[in-house]
Amino acid sequence: MNSFINLFFLFYIYSIIGWIIETIYVSIKQKKLANRGFLIGPYCPIYGLSSVLMIILLSKYKEDFLVLFIMGMFIPSLLEYITSFVLEKIFRVRWWDYSNKMFNIDGRVCLSNSFIFGLLCIFLILYLNPFINNIKNSIPNDIFNVITIILMITFIIDSIFSLVTIFKVKTTINKIDGKKDYTEEVSDKVRKSLTDQSKLIRRLFNAFPNVNIRFK
């Protein structure tokens, strides 16, 4: 149980750090503040999961920068590809698309992002994770467990509300799926219909301005 709590704490912390990175990058790119991510709270779970996997699998290679870099490119990119594929198949929406970037795979991942992931992996294993662990170890165990369980509960509640919001997107898309002329105009009308439904859906589309609605 303690191991699970420790891993979830790291997952949570790195999800927040990932959200900060994404939000800063997208805000600069869009020249306005962007609340990046699928969830309501300030976290991007794909960063948290990638970080935990790299900590588990790659900590023993901290003396080998090449292994850290290559595997740091591969693990997050694989998760990003799988996440994009699964979300598109389930919700019929492609939330990001790197087709305009060089050396991309199906527009789901691209070499430039993977390169950055590799550098971040080295920083994570050598510097950031030891620093986070020192802070974590300074907290009394009972207090740490209570805090982490509270964070876990809030994360689960957030995930439920966010999934309900995304399923509303799919439901709206399904309602017009009998049409055959899936033009850009139709896609824009669907987007407007969705963003008019609730603030949560509007926030989601603002977070992913290049979202591509997929019809059959």
Residue 109, classed as helix, strand or coil, is strand
Task: Count structural domains, the chain.
Answer: 2
Q: Say if CB 136 and CB 145 are below 8 A apart.
A: no
56 in a structural domain: yes
Instruction: Note whether residue 163 is domain-resident.
Output: no
Q: pTM for this one?
A: 0.83
User: 162 in a domain, yes or no?
Assistant: no
The parent domain of residue 202 ranges over 168-216
Does residue 116 or residue 95 have the better pLDDT?
Answer: 116
pLDDT in tens, 61-115: 988 999 999 999 999 999 999 998 988 888 777 778 888 888 999 999 999 999 9
The answer to whether residues 55 and 145 belong to one domain is yes
Residue 149 lies inside a defined structural domain of this protein: yes
Residue 75 inside a domain? The answer is yes
Q: Alpha-carbon distance 97 to 110, whole Å?
A: 9
Residues 71 and 104 in one domain: yes
Reported as a single tens digit per residue, the pLDDT across 135-187 is: 999 999 999 999 999 999 999 998 898 888 777 776 766 666 555 444 444 45
Which of 136, 156, 176 corresponds to the end of one domain? 156
Report the pLDDT value the prediction gives residue 41, as an integer from 0 to 100.
Answer: 83
**What's the gap between Cα 156 and its chain centre?**
15
Do 37 and 133 share a structural domain? yes
Q: Are residues 23 and 111 in the same domain?
A: yes
Question: Which candidate, 54, 71, 65, 58, places its Cα nearest to that of 10?
Answer: 54
- Give CA–CA dist 29/75, Å, rounded: 25
Q: Provide the pLDDT for residue 97.
A: 84
Q: Distance between CA atoms of 134 and 10, rounded to whole angstroms? A: 12
